Amino acid sequence: QVAGSVEGPMALPPPPAMVGKDDGTEAAPRITTVAGSAQRVEEAIQSLGAGPYQRRLWKLCSLGVAGDAMEKSAMMYIMQGVSSEWQVNVEKLGLLASFSGLGQILGSWTFGRLSDLRGRRTSLLCAVSLTTSVGILSAVAPTFESFVLFRFIINIGLSGALPVAFTLLSEFLPAKQRPRWTSFLYTSFGVGRLVTSLTAWLLLDVSWRCYLLAIALPSGLLLLLQKYVPET
């Protein structure tokens, strides 16, 4: 099924019927190849164009992308608070950055594979769920070692949410309109970084833990609206 510019699905054409021979006997059905089916889907998307359905999907994907940007940019604001609370040196802070990068490498492969096997929707929601839950745990980490572990895990989710959100939106768009819409989607990354800065200005003087907690919550909005997230 393909979701078009109007609400609700549009069914693909039914499979071809049994074709009879001249003598009245039934012949084998014509086999529709995967490539042929994909071509029909692409043609349907092209004919429907982009409309309210795609705009709603763009807003949903923007929540995931903005939440991703907020978590990634939050680290630059909390380094001083983390080092002061646990008395960590520069070498240990470097370890934190290294484990974060390792998590992104692992997450890119994991969620890319998951999106191919189980679908874009499942992959995106799993990545956002991981980001939100572990982001909250990061805010209450009791030790620096546990904090490093949580940031490693959260980066697995962060590296999955961003590319899957772009893929999900693109597969509902006509080919000619994908560059423009994905450019609009990427603006939400900048919005997320701006919100991170404003949140730091408001909360860092209170506690870096309160700041991390506030940063983790926006991604949860997409989970609350997950029933509106379609599968391609």
- Smallest CA-to-CA distance from 161 within 129, 185, 128 is with 128
User: What is the dihedral sign for C-alpha 76, 80, 85, 91?
Assistant: positive
- Ranking 27-41, 163-177, 198-212 by mean pLDDT, the lowest is 27-41
User: What is the dihedral sign for C-alpha 157, 161, 163, 168?
Assistant: positive
Beta bridge partners of 2: 10
Q: Per-residue pLDDT for 12 more than 50?
A: no
Q: Per-residue pLDDT for 34 more than 60?
A: no
Q: Per-residue pLDDT for 30 more than 90?
A: no
Q: What is the mean pLDDT of residues 157-175?
A: 90
Q: What's residue 2's pLDDT? A: 43
- Ranking 42-46, 93-97, 116-120, 134-138 by mean pLDDT, the lowest is 42-46
Query: Identity (one letter) of the amino acid at 114?
Result: L
Instruction: For residue 4, name the pLDDT band (cuts at 50, 70, 90).
Output: very low
Distance (Å, rounded) from C-alpha 165 to C-alpha 125?
Answer: 10
Instruction: For residue 33, name the pLDDT band (cuts at 50, 70, 90).
Output: low
Q: Per-residue pLDDT for 17 more than 60?
A: no
Q: What's residue 23's pLDDT? A: 52
Q: What is the 3-state secondary structure (H, E, C) of the chain?
A: CEECCCCCEECCCCCCCCCECCCCCECCCCCCCHHHHHHHHHHHHHHHCCCHHHHHHHHHHHHHHHHHHHHHHHHHHHHHHHHHHHCCCHHHHHHHHHHHHHHHHHHHHHHHHHHHHHCHHHHHHHHHHHHHHHHHHHHCCCCHHHHHHHHHHHHHHHHHHHHHHHHHHHCCCCHHHHHHHHHHHHHHHHHHHHHHHHHHHHHCCCCHHHHHHHHHCCHHHHHHCHHHCCCC
Instruction: For residue 38, name the pLDDT band (cuts at 50, 70, 90).
Output: low
* Residue entry with tokens 């939400």: 188
